[in-house]
Each structure stands twice: as structure tokens, then as C-alpha cells.
Amino acid sequence: MAFRTHDTLSFMKQYNYIIIGAGPSGLAFAHTLKQLGETSFLLIEKESVAGGLCRSAQVEGAPLDIGGGHFLDEKRRDVLDLLFSFLPREDWKQYSRISKIKLHGAYVDYPLEANLWQLPIADQLDFLESIAEARFASNASTPQSFEDWIVWHFGKRVSREYMLPYNRKIWSVDLSTLGTDWLYKLPDVSFRQTLQSCLERQPYGKLPAHRTFLYPAHSGFGEVWRRMGESLGDSLILSSAVTSVDIRSLVVNRTFKAKKKIINTIPWPLWPSFTDIPSAIGEQIKKLKWTSIDVDYYSEDLPTNAQWIYDPDENVPHHRLLCRNNFCQGSRGHWTETNSLRAKQQGQWHYRNIFAYPVSTIEKPRAVESISDWAGCHHIVGLGRWGTWAHMNCDVAVSEASDMARRLLETPF
């Protein structure tokens, strides 16, 4: 990277904050700055519309969420307040979650461990035995790898027929390389609750997200983010990928200078192609793994009231199927979500999300810590799904971005 003199810098457009990526994280960070009276910022986005993985397209006369099925959790009041200021509450519809698992041709409500009672008695007994054996095994220490954790937590039969094949499909990596730092995403159902649900023929236990959820009543999930982008006016540049960052001078694309911080919400593995990275940090970045997800649309309506269905059958390429007509008013059809490494055929409409899921490998936490320490020394802050490499939902992304904006404004430079 060329070194810039003070004179050259004085001709650049200067902002206190330059934010890279206008997904939910970048948008929430920018709007929180604005709400707190800080207007010296620029948000740079490579796509022509803001929203990142939460964008929607129009397909067969109705919205389709190109990053896969997206539903808004209702837990965080501050997040809802921010989003409702762009798409008012009355423009969202509330749904009770109906999601199913396809097991041996039958459909069971998610999560399996709270809904075993929907299976034939012989299967219920086998699955109960599997979970009981696991929960009451004498070796009690929690395993480090996700694969071992699955068998430790669910026992052999549930693992073999559901958890292992499903996770092999969605991640398409050796499951023994995955860590357990993201297990808060999984349902919390004790053995007692599993047993109780079989006896009383109703679910017990806690779902971490989306027991009920919101989805826009007259648009796709992308609309709220599109509006958030639009309302930033000239503070957002669309269709403009970041292709260079001079980390010494905090100059982006040889045109924009950050006087205080660069906020990075894009995947760190993109950075070595556009900036000088010390080799030790480059090695840490190489440890970050991700999956790509193909979204394929088909116009056929499926005979189910489920909003989505998980499929652990490894002979079927997709791992999840979204019934658009069951949550997007006035629409028809369904789409599949498939790890791109397993994709075999394209639907009537097709989109590949190159960066879809950050993979929580065992070595990820230390790699992210090293990268963040290095970036912090250069006044670069990693934020959101890719800046922190965390498998987070958009409400968490918004909440963390707003917190970060508040913290940075409170910290004297």
C-alpha cells in the first residue's frame, strides 16, 4: 500500500467513522451514531441494496428472502423500537412457529426432544432410551467437539438418525472440528421435560429463538433494511465494494479517510486481498471457516402448514425447506436451502450466498481474539456476524452494533 503524505490526506473525504458493509450490523451502527448526534460517518456497501443476508428479491410476484428464511425474534425491545421506526409494527404480522423435522417420511414438530410423542410408540421408546442413556451416563464432563457433544447429549439413536446427518448436511465439514461455543442456539429440553412431553402428549422445554416471530405483512424481510439504508441518504454509498484499506492511514478505496475508526462488518478472509496483513494474522484469518448456502425456489405449494421443514436425510441435498406461502402473505411456492458443496440442481430461481454461516470450529475463538487484537491496535473494530465470526441472528447483530456505537461515542479518542 502506498504511504500518503499529510497533504494528500487533506484532499480526502474525511469521516470520524467508516463502516464497511450495510447489512443489519452496519445499518444499526450507523443509525445509532445518528440518533446520538454523530453525523460524521460513511457506510460503504458492495451490493445495490442495503440489508446483507436479510435482503429480499421479487420472485413470481412475491418477495423471496435471498439469504434464506428470515424471521424477526421479538425478545429485544430496543431492537424492535429501532426497526419499527422504519417499518411500523402494524406492517408486521406475528406468527406462532410451526417448524417440522422430516424423519423416515413422517413429520415431527421441532425440537425433536420435546415432540417425541408424535412418533409411533416403538420409536418413542427407542429415542427416549437413547436420550436417557446419554443423560445418565457416568462420564459427565462436557465434550469439547460438537460431534462428541451430540452423542454425549442425545445418545446414539437420536444422533445417528437426526442430529449427526442434519449437521453433516448444513455444515459439510468434519463435525469433530466444530466447537461447542454456539450451543446456546439449540433448544434447552431436559430429560424430565422430554419424558413429561411423551406422557402428556405436548411439548415442554425452551426454544432459544422464534417461538413466535414477526414477518412483514406486505413485503419481504428485506424491506426494513432497505428503508434503513435509504434514510441514510449520502451517508451510504451502494454498489461500491471496498477494495483497498491502508491500515496505517485508515484510508479506504484511496478516497475516504476514517479519523477515528473503521468498523468492519465484512468477512475477515476478504481482507488479505486488499490490505497489508502481517503473516501471523494472515494465518489466523485462514483458520476462519464458513459455509455457502444456495437458495432455490420452486412454485409448487406443499401440503403442510409448517413455515419450514428440516430434512436430515443425506440422500436429499437440501437441509431446510421454506414454505413461502405459510408466512409471506399473497405468495406461493417454496424454496430450499442447501450447503453449496452439496448442491446438485438449481430451482426455477437460484441464488448463492457465498458467506452464509460462520463455522464455529474449535480453533475459532482464539483466531478471532488474535485478529480483533491486531485490528484494535489499528483502530479497526470487528462487528456483526463476520466481524466477530459469530453465528448470530439479526436482532443480536442490531443490538450489538447499537451497543458498540454507544460505547465508542462514550470513549474519548
Ligand X SMILES: Cc1cc2nc3c(=O)[nH]c(=O)nc-3n(C[C@H](O)[C@H](O)[C@H](O)COP(=O)(O)OP(=O)(O)OC[C@H]3O[C@@H](n4cnc5c(N)ncnc54)[C@H](O)[C@@H]3O)c2cc1C
Question: Under the criterion CB under 6 A, does residue 151 sit at the interface with ligand X?
Answer: no
Question: Under the criterion CB under 6 A, does residue 270 sit at the interface with ligand X?
Answer: yes
User: What does the DSSP assignment read for 102-127?
Assistant: EETTEEEESSGGG-GGGS-HHHHHHH
Among 15, 17, 19, 25, binds ligand X (CB under 6 A): 25
Question: Under the criterion CB under 6 A, does residue 296 sit at the interface with ligand X?
Answer: no
Question: Under the criterion CB under 6 A, does residue 97 sit at the interface with ligand X?
Answer: no
Question: Under the criterion CB under 6 A, does residue 118 sit at the interface with ligand X?
Answer: no
Pairing of strands 256-264, 13-20: parallel
Question: Under the criterion CB under 6 A, does residue 392 sit at the interface with ligand X?
Answer: yes
Among 397, 404, 405, 408, binds ligand X (CB under 6 A): 397
Region 218-257 residues binding ligand X, contact defined as CB under 6 A: 241-242
Question: Under the criterion CB under 6 A, does residue 288 sit at the interface with ligand X?
Answer: no
Among 15, 18, 19, 26, binds ligand X (CB under 6 A): 26
Question: Under the criterion CB under 6 A, does residue 277 sit at the interface with ligand X?
Answer: no
Q: DSSP secondary-structure letter at 168?
A: H
Residue 195: which of 260, 265, 124 has the closest Cα? 124
Reading the block at residue 240, the C-alpha cell is 461500491
Select 361 or 393, whichever has its Cβ closest to ligand X.
393
In the complex, residue closest to ligand X by CB: 23
What CA–CA distances, in Å, run from 51 to 75, 357, 400? Answer: 21, 16, 16
Residue 168: which of 45, 314, 2 has the closest Cα? 314
Please, is 105 exposed, middle or buried when counting C-beta atoms within 10 Å of its C-beta (0-12, 13-18, 19+)?
exposed
Count each helix (H run) and each strand (E run) in the chain, helices first.
Answer: 12, 19
Among 15, 17, 42, 45, binds ligand X (CB under 6 A): 45
In whole angstroms, how close is the CB of 221 to ligand X at the nearest point?
A: 8
Give the interface with ligand X as residue ranges (CB under 6 A).
20-26, 44-47, 52-54, 67-71, 73, 241-242, 265-266, 270, 293, 337, 356-357, 384-386, 392-395, 397
